[in-house]
Amino acid sequence: MPGNFGGEIETSAYKDLSRRTFSELIRRQGGTWINCGDGARIDGAQPKAAAALDLPVPPGGRAAVLESLRRRLRAHAAGGYNDRDALRRHVEACDMYRAEHAELVARARREGDGPWEFERRMRAFRNARLGAFDGVDKIAGGSLDSLFRLAVHRAGRIGDAAGRGAFFADFLEAYGQESEEVLGRAQQPLAGFLGPG
């Protein structure tokens, strides 16, 4: 991966998931983000050495910052989170996500997508439905991404283009079946939190 301060660094699938999560958060939330780490570059974050930061101390110091955070955070008693409307929307979104995702995979198979084309197709699908599918994606998105990244890792070790294409076509068929199961399982905990009624 490109390093935060230039050059290249080595990473792992789990660490790269963190990088992509932060990149997505920055893209969605905006704001000013600073990456002081000596690891991977994070899209949207400004590289800056920690020693170069000059953060002003707010009036009241650390205690005032903590109190400000406490005032803005919602507190829930154990078992008290009960946003049933949001949970119901997420449960219902699972079925829509599953149907639209199945059609996306079927279209990718018909059009002979390779890894690059399929990743772009998936990214566009998710970006177009951020609000509607956000709750589902938080549960199932990591698993779906891991399946895809494992396939890309394997495909990259096949020497000839025809072999890679055949492998990825087989992957898309298996991925379609596996993602059905993953998305079905995502619905179970959401429905469980919602409870009867």
Q: What is the dihedral of CA 159, 163, 165, 171, to 10 degrees?
A: -100
- Determine the pLDDT at residue 107: 95
Domain end marker among 72, 96, 120: 72
Claim to verify: residue 126 and residue 165 sit in the same structural domain: yes
Residue ranges making up the domain that contains 163:
84-194
Q: How far is CA 195 from CA 76, 82, 95, 189, in A?
A: 18, 10, 18, 10
C-beta separation of 178 from 147 below 8 A = yes
- Determine the pLDDT at residue 196: 67
- Determine the pLDDT at residue 82: 64
Per-residue pLDDT of the chain (197 residues; tens, 9 = 90+): 899 999 999 988 778 888 988 998 898 888 899 999 999 999 999 999 999 998 888 888 889 888 988 888 877 777 666 677 878 888 888 889 899 999 999 999 999 999 889 988 988 888 888 778 877 888 888 888 888 888 988 888 898 989 999 999 999 999 999 998 998 888 888 777 777 65
Claim to verify: residue 113 and residue 22 sit in the same structural domain: no
Confirm whether pTM is higher than 0.85. no
Per the domain annotation, does 5 fall within a domain?
A: no
Claim to verify: residue 118 and residue 161 sit in the same structural domain: yes
Claim to verify: residue 92 and residue 177 sit in the same structural domain: yes
Claim to verify: residue 95 and residue 177 sit in the same structural domain: yes
C-beta separation of 172 from 109 below 8 A = yes
**Total domains in the fold of the chain:** 2
Claim to verify: residue 97 and residue 157 sit in the same structural domain: yes
Per the domain annotation, does 6 fall within a domain?
A: no
Burial of 36 (0-12, 13-18, 19+ CB in 10 A): middle
Claim to verify: residue 95 and residue 161 sit in the same structural domain: yes
- Determine the pLDDT at residue 142: 84
Claim to verify: residue 173 and residue 101 sit in the same structural domain: yes
Domain end marker among 72, 92, 123: 72
- Determine the pLDDT at residue 57: 80
Per the domain annotation, does 40 fall within a domain?
A: yes
Per the domain annotation, does 68 fall within a domain?
A: yes
